[in-house]
Chains A and B, each alone.
Chain A
């Protein structure tokens, strides 16, 4: 036990000083921030300046009411989001007005121009001319304001009660709320949910790739310079294996700790949605299970291969298997009850990521949780036994990579 601790201490202290570790310590959060914050900022934050929108109204009836309705959109509840500029000049020709409006759009003076052409009675043709036709938010604001205006004007014309008009033109907004076992959860929007899951999955991935990558490399170094023979003439292979896994897991934990601190600071500045820290316990459980499982597998692989290239080849496939569930993340969030997601919750390679996802999406039935944990525990047990066997034989086999048949015979030994 003492030697296991000595090995763990050595692995930890020697690796924690390396440049690779220090770089990954800071690079990873930077990547995560880029992954999570930038889209949130892009989609969630409004531009904080007032936009000018031109209006060409050949009927001349909409301007005032429309300006009032557009004025309901406020930036940060203070500043109006839009100002309406009336381009209608009675003396000018319609196409000349439109041309001058287009000029203003191109020069950036106005964001766009709404053209209302009245034909007969209440029917009208309406178009919005702008540089970027994909500005969904502006368009939906305009659409809402115009339709409300049109409705109000018609109702006023028919002599309806002003309070009725107000009632009709007030749209109801639907808020989505996630229901959890212990009552109503906080308001949750899709993006926050998606990125919450992603943060943990990426953390797990990064931890597995960096710590277990280091584990494989340190094994290979000792194997290639035969230090392994000195070490296992000083302690049992199991002590060595346990020491390495312990030391490098501590290293991974250090990383996660630093990242969590960074995350905590970001959360306190509300740059990261605080929802990230809901369900932290089950997420942590699957995080730990996933890490242990993948570590055992990496040890097994590290024991079989004898060059860095071989190791990289195999570990990159494994890492892919782990990243794969991220590709399922979107469909899983959209449809958490699909059979597909349920099947993935029973495959040891995808359990950790899928379960982290599912805990963020909604309540997971207790029996399913228990089944997943059981499958994970059994897989970990089997993989540790197998890794231990491969380790004992593999660390002393040099040269060519053993064939599958040989590996199987090692496992049987």
Chain B
């Protein structure tokens, strides 16, 4: 388990990360979410011991940082790049050697991964000869080849085509089954929603909300409905039951006021428009995210 307690980082006069705490458990994907500049990367860098926290503690398996930790962690940064003039296999083996992997198992694992991502025949080629997508695969392999206990992915899907995104998703889920600790930092909410079971939402260095995704959805989502209808949508806007409505052609997503029951609302509009479908929905993570950021900004 990775325990982050009261973590704070101040740069000169700005507080990049402000007293945040969370636990990341093995066997789950932990989503570290937030808009650009929220403090995600700074948090990740502190976990990786690239920069020192101004205050707070980070414990991995109950221990604070030791040099051994370097070998347990795999990191895929948001911005990618490799040694252009170096060969694919050499590059992967170099990164494996920095994780204290012995040569033989490093070669075996590299080949295994190159096969898995279907770029084995490029192993003797220079990085610059590869397409951008294939370069990213090489970098992905470099971050997982040493079978790390803790994996940190910063926007892992950016730059991959949908097919590879699917492969990477499957790989991530297989890591979950093998009990790794995984932190996924992203602002692609739909991806996070599908993969993460725990999330931590950060904005301007502060925690906005955190917990298991289902719980968060339950908390913020009992009063959302989706209604398909024929007729004048202005009826919806004038309804006293509605807190917020997003109207589209033929359907609307509606957030009811706190004390209103969905069936009361349905009763109030059933004579005015022709309802073809009515359902109670969970809010998307995207909506939770936007609402939470808005709330915290006020």
- Residues of chain A at the chain B interface (Cβ within 8 Å): 2-3, 6-7, 10, 14, 18, 221, 224-227, 229-236, 396, 409
B50 touches A226 (CB 8 A): no
CB neighbours of A236 from chain B (8 A): 67
Is residue B201 within 8 Å, beta carbon to beta carbon, of the partner chain? Answer: no
Q: Is B200 an interface residue (CB 8 A)?
A: no
Docked complex Cα distance between A225 and B98 (Å): 18
With a CB–CB cut-off of 8 A, which chain B residues contact A396? 45, 50-51
Bound-complex Cα distance A159 to B49 (A): 102
Can you identify 30 A-B contacts, CB atoms within 8 angstroms?
A2-B100, A3-B98, A6-B97, A10-B94, A14-B83, A14-B85, A221-B83, A224-B81, A225-B81, A225-B82, A226-B77, A226-B78, A226-B79, A226-B81, A227-B82, A229-B45, A229-B48, A229-B77, A230-B95, A230-B142, A230-B143, A233-B49, A233-B50, A233-B73, A235-B70, A236-B67, A396-B45, A396-B50, A396-B51, A409-B12
Chain B residues whose C-beta falls within 8 Å of the C-beta of A225 in the assembled complex: 79-82
Q: Report Cα–Cα, A138/B85, bound state, in Å.
A: 59
Q: Are B50 and A7 in contact (CB-based, < 8 A)?
A: no
The residues of A that contact B86 with a CB separation of less than 8 Å are: 14
Query: Known contacts A6-B97, A396-B51: does B70 contact A226 (CB below 8 Å)?
Result: no
B75 at the interface (CB under 8 A from A): yes
**What is the 8 Å Cβ interface bit string for chain B, positions 52-85, against chain A (1 contact, 0 not)?**
0000000000000001001101010111111101
Query: Which secondary structure dominates where chain A touches chain B?
Result: helix
- Which size bracket describes the interface of B in this complex? 20 to 34
For B9, the chain A residues whose CB sits under 8 A away are: none
Q: Are B80 and A234 in contact (CB under 8 A)?
A: no
Interface residues of B (CB under 8 A from A): 12, 45, 48-51, 67, 70-71, 73, 75, 77-83, 85-86, 90, 94-95, 97-100, 142-143
A residues less than 8 Å from B51 (CB atoms):
396
Closest Cβ of chain A to B139, distance in Å, is 8
Query: Does A234 lie within 8 Å of B99, measured CB to CB?
Result: yes
The count of A-to-B residue pairs whose CB atoms sit within 8 angstroms is 59
The smallest beta-carbon distance between B258 and chain A, in angstroms, is: 45
Which residue on B lies nearest to A218, using beta carbons?
Answer: B83
Cα distance, A236 to B67, chains bound together (Å): 8
Instruction: Output the nearest chain A residue to B100 by Cβ-Cβ distance.
Output: A2
Instruction: For the complex, give the distance between the alpha carbons of A409 and B98 in Å.
Output: 31
Q: Is the CB of B49 within 8 A of A6?
A: no
Query: Please, which residues of chain B bring their CB within 8 A of the CB of A234?
Result: 70-71, 95, 98-99
Residues of A within 8 A of B80 (CB): 225-226
Q: Which chain A residues lie closer than 8 Å to B82 at the CB level?
A: 225, 227
Closest chain A residue to B81, Cβ basis: A225
The reply to whether A231 and B98 contact each other, CB–CB distance below 8 Å, is yes
- Cβ contact within 8 Å between B81 and A7: no
The complex places the Cα of A246 from the Cα of B48 at a distance, in Å, of: 25
CB-contact partner of A3 in B73, B79, B81, B100, under 8 A: B100
How far is the CB of B14 from the nearest CB of chain A, in Å? 14
CA separation between A14 and B77, bound complex, in Å?
Answer: 23
CA distance A221 to B84 in the complex (A): 9
Chain A positions within 8 Å of B90 at CB level: 14
Q: How far is the CA of A225 from the CA of B78 in the complex (A)?
A: 10
A395 to B: closest C-beta gap in Å: 9
Q: What's the least CB distance linking A225 to chain B, in Å?
A: 2
Residue of A nearest to B47 (CB): A233
B79 surroundings in chain A (CB, below 8 A): 225-226
Give A221 to B81 CA distance when docked, in angstroms. 9
Top 4 closest pairs, chain A to chain B, by CB: A225-B81, A234-B98, A233-B48, A6-B97
Nearest-CB distance from B36 to chain A (Å)? 15
A232 touches B100 (CB 8 A): no
- Minimum C-beta distance from B48 to chain A (A): 4
Nearest A-chain residue to B99, judged by Cβ:
A234
B137 → A minimal CB distance (Å) = 15
The interface centre, meaning the residue of A2, A10, A18, A230 with most chain B CB atoms within 10 A of its CB, is A230
Smallest Cβ-Cβ distance to A231: which chain B residue: B98
Bound-state CA distance A343–B155 (Å) is 57
B28 → A minimal CB distance (Å): 22
CB proximity of B159 to chain A, nearest CB, Å: 13
In the complex, how many angstroms separate the beta carbon of A404 from the nearest chain B beta carbon? 15
Q: Bound complex: CA of A226 vs CA of B154, how far in Å? A: 12
Question: Which listed residue, A18, A224, A229, A235, touches B75 by the CB 8 Å rule?
Answer: A229
Told that A226-B78, A229-B48 touch, could you supply 20 new A-B pairs with CB distance under 8 A?
Answer: A2-B100, A3-B100, A6-B98, A10-B94, A10-B97, A14-B83, A14-B85, A14-B90, A225-B79, A226-B79, A227-B82, A227-B83, A229-B50, A231-B98, A233-B50, A233-B73, A234-B71, A234-B98, A236-B67, A396-B45
Question: From B67, which residue of chain A is reached at the shortest CB distance?
Answer: A236
Please give the distance in Å from B76's CB to the nearest CB on chain A: 8
In angstroms, how far is the closest chain B Cβ from the Cβ of A319? Answer: 24
Bound CA span A396–B94, Å: 21
List residues of chain A with CB within 8 A of the CB of B50. Answer: 229, 232-233, 396
The docked-state distance in angstroms from the alpha carbon of A6 to that of B96 is 10
CA–CA, A252 and B127, complex, Å: 26
- A392 smallest CB distance to B (angstroms): 9
Cα A229 to Cα B98 in complex, Å, equals: 13
Cβ contacts under 8 Å, A235 to chain B: 70, 98
* A227 near B94: Cβ-Cβ < 8 Å: no
